[in-house]
């Protein structure tokens, strides 16, 4: 029995060392595979990768918290800090799994043959805009970046709303391509700001945002949001300016403004208290509460929630019925 007791720890230690060696090897392989990705995986995924890498190599977050105006460093710090006491081994494993899923998704995407969509408008790079059966559909089309909204997309949405307001369609629909509705502002909007240019960037951004929101306010036709997945930031606050909001049951609604040191836009500080009441609006806009689709519906932000499995079929049947109504 003494011999057996002495052997068990030795075997256990040997197996643990082998497991760690394999984990480290997979981790290094994942770093090399990540370089092979042809498409940018998007801000949210890049933040996850950054956080897992730091956790795997350095352990729990030990860096000082950046200032609120340093948006990119603040986002990176938040992502790393959110991992808490996750072990280095687990972080390596999660990093490798995430890279593997990205490689698989990109491979599957490349196999799909893209076919021109009927009624598609020309002149858009970040959107797919179509007019068919009296419906103008404005689809966010940056699925590899979770439909994050960059400056170009802001301008293209303005253009699409202008066209939809003037053409023969009865209604306009806004939705997202891929698994997200939109992850909100693209962090690249705030990068590469040279010293002394922060004030100009803020002023230019305010002018663009005012014009952008103004086109939602002044849109002359029924505007319907079809929220196919998670919505974050400005993509949430704009929902108060839509006439109907249909959501998949896998959609979530998150406006983490105070967490990022920002203020809510899109008239939400005025409209959300009117829609859901002051207490619920404050919980969401001031204290960053993420709502499920069911919660958003109960609070009046969402018109109706549908099972994800039948979401597109059910919603578009209704939209086509609405589009057959008289235009005037």
Residue 241 CA to its chain's centroid (Å): 19
| Distance in angstroms between the alpha carbons of the first and the last residue of the chain | 91
| Cα gap 289→271, rounded to integer Å | 17
Q: Lowest mean pLDDT: which of 17-31, 127-141, 185-199, 259-273?
A: 17-31
Residue 232 tokens, joined: 């974050």
- Residue corresponding to tokens 């408008």: 121
Residue 159 tokens, joined: 């253009």
Residues 268, 269, 273, 278, CA torsion sign? positive
Q: Is 225 helix (H, G, I), strand (E, B) or coil?
A: strand
pLDDT per residue as tens digits for the range 11-64: 343 444 444 444 688 888 889 888 888 888 888 898 999 999 998 899 999 999
Position 21 scores a pLDDT of 45
| Cα gap 31→49, rounded to integer Å | 10
- What the chain holds in terms of domains, given with CATH numbers, is 19-111 (1.20.80.10), 127-323 (3.90.226.10)
| Cα gap 201→189, rounded to integer Å | 9
Alpha carbons within 13 angstroms on the beta-carbon side of residue 264 total 25
Position 109 scores a pLDDT of 62
Residues in the chain: 328
pLDDT per residue as tens digits for the range 200-253: 888 888 899 999 999 999 999 999 999 999 999 999 999 999 999 999 999 999
Residue 131 tokens, joined: 């007019």
* Residues sharing a CB contact under 8 Å with residue 287, sequence separation 6 or more, in sequence order: 258
| Cα gap 167→72, rounded to integer Å | 40
In this prediction, residue 195 has a pLDDT band, given cuts at 50, 70 and 90, of confident
Q: Which of 133, 102, 119 is nearest to 38 (CA)?
A: 102
- Phi/psi of residue 232, nearest 5 degrees: -135, 145
């Amino acid at each position: 029995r003494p011999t057996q007791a002495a052997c068990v720890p030795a075997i256990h230690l040997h197996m643990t060392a082998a497991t760690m060696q394999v984990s480290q090897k997979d981790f290094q392989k994942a770093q090399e595979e990540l370089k092979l990705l042809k498409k940018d995986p998007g801000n949210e995924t890049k933040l996850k990768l950054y956080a897992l890498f730091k956790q795997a190599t350095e352990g729990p977050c030990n860096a000082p918290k950046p200032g609120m105006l340093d948006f990119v460093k603040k986002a990176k710090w938040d992502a790393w800090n959110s991992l808490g006491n996750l072990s280095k081994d687990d972080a390596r494993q999660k990093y490798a799994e995430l890279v593997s899923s990205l490689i698989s998704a990109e491979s599957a995407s490349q196999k799909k043959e893209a076919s021109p969509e009927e009624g598609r408008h020309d002149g858009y790079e970040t959107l797919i805009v179509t007019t068919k059966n009296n419906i103008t559909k404005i689809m966010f089309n940056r699925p590899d970046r979770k439909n994050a909204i960059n400056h170009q997309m802001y301008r293209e949405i303005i253009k699409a709303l202008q066209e939809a307001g003037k053409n023969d369609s009865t209604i306009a629909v806004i939705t997202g391509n891929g698994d997200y509705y939109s992850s909100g502002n693209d962090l690249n909007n705030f990068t590469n700001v040279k010293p002394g240019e922060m004030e100009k960037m803020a002023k230019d951004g305010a002018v663009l945002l005012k014009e952008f929101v103004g086109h939602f306010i002044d849109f002359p036709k029924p505007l319907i949001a079809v929220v196919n997945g998670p919505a974050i930031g400005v993509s949430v606050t704009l929902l108060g300016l839509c006439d109907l909001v249909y959501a998949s049951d896998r959609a979530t609604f998150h406006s983490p403004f105070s967490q990022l040191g920002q203020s809510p836009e899109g008239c939400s500080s005025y409209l959300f208290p009117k829609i859901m009441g002051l207490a619920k609006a404050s919980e969401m806009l001031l204290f960053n509460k993420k709502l499920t689709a069911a919660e958003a519906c109960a609070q009046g932000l969402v018109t109706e929630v549908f099972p994800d499995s039948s979401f597109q079929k059910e919603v578009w049947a209704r939209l086509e019925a609405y589009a057959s109504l008289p235009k005037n």
